[in-house]
Amino acid sequence: MKHWILLLIIFLLVLPVQAEELPEISAKSAVVLEYATGAVPYAKNAESRLPMASTTKIMTALVALESGNPSDTVTIGPNAVGVEGSSMYLKAGEQMTLEELLYGLMLSSGNDAAVAIAEHIAGSEAAFAERMTARAQELGCINTQFKNANGLPDDEHYTTALELARITGKALEHEKFREIVSTKSKRIGTRTLSNHNKMLSLYEGAVGVKTGYTKAAGRTLVSAAERDGITLIAVTLNAPDDWDDHTKMLDYSFSGMERRVITRKNTYAGIVPVEGGTMEVVHICFGADFSLSVVKTAETEIKMKLPPSVQAPVAAGQEVGSGEVLVNGVKMGEVPLLTAAVVEQETAPAFRDYLYMVFVRWIAIYIK
């Protein structure tokens, strides 16, 4: 009996560890994107064109922050009053700062705030929507088109989960955007604005970003979370159970990511030949630390870009090339390559021969 127990234990120990299965989610389309590298640890129909409802406002905020100043004064026009759907209840002639409108846009999901912002930046909502589409194109989002600034239904208003995640990644580069979407509640004059994004309370490390809903689009959600130096952006389109979907997707994706150290400053990187120096080669080292978040199965490498040789004299810390950091063959950055020592210039051969000849003659005279 003991032998059978021992064999069973050994059998269990050597069983291959199976990878975690993809989570079952309710969303018609979904993706998780790693913020720094663009790695995609999870995807489901991620490139299908679908309406995105109020998650549109992520691009509205991005264009506003790139085109205006948060301290700008905005006078509310009649077109921004009484807009259907969610609202921060603006009044015609009321004056607010662009920043205050951005809080109304992203926390209360104010469709009226979207119109006010659009008219302030571009003169009209239609002109602003054209800017939004153009900006999406610049970001490589060729399956995204905007017809308004708030996400109200329009057959020609659509995106994909993957492209919406990329747009969100760009928006998260703005500190003011991060500040706004991570705020749970904000007092603006007599208004108290509450963030509709429950992920801020439901999920550890959540930092935003936007909810959405229309009958045509269903429930849409973009969330972002940070853990151990890794930032993930999750998107679901047409997801009846979006809070649960995002929890599952983020948990799965965090478990499949790791922070990988690629280079450490001042560590050995190789050698390069020296021409006309007192040494034939000089050691080189990495000039900076470099680390990034990658899917655990990703292949990382450093492609060294060095000249065939360097000319003496060589100073310590002299930049002589760079190391390209590649993840699955895609460039993610560069690290400078520096010389680790001084190499003096070799004495000119003609002058050396002259000294030798003088020495020989001196010896000859001395011997006589």
Which residues are the active-site residues? 54, 57, 109
Rounded to whole angstroms, the Cα distance separating 25 from 228 reads 25
Distance linking the first and last C-alpha atoms of the chain: 103
R_g of the chain computed on alpha carbons:
30
Give the DSSP per-residue string, 339-356.
E-S-BPBPPPHHHHHHHH
- How far is the C-alpha of 118 from the C-alpha of 112, rounded, in Å? 10
CA torsion 292→293→298→303, rounded to 10°?
A: -10
Adjacent-strand bridge partners of 286: 337
46 Cα distance to chain centroid? 18
Q: Which two tokens stand for residue 176?
A: 């003011």
CA–CA gap between residue 106 and residue 307 (Å, rounded): 51
Q: Which segments of 39-141 are extended strands (E)? A: 42-44, 73-75, 95-97
CA dist 101 and 111 (Å) reads: 11
Place of tokens 């001196």: 362
Please provide the DSSP assignment of 43-108 as one string.
EESTT--B--GGGGHHHHHHHHHHHS-TT-EEEPPGGGSS-SSS-----TT-EEEHHHHHHHHHTS
CA distance 204 to 173: 21
Cα atoms in the 13 Å half-sphere on the side-chain side of 42: 29
21 DSSP assignment = P
Contact 211, 181 (CB under 8 A): no
C-alpha torsion 28→29→30→36, nearest 10: -170
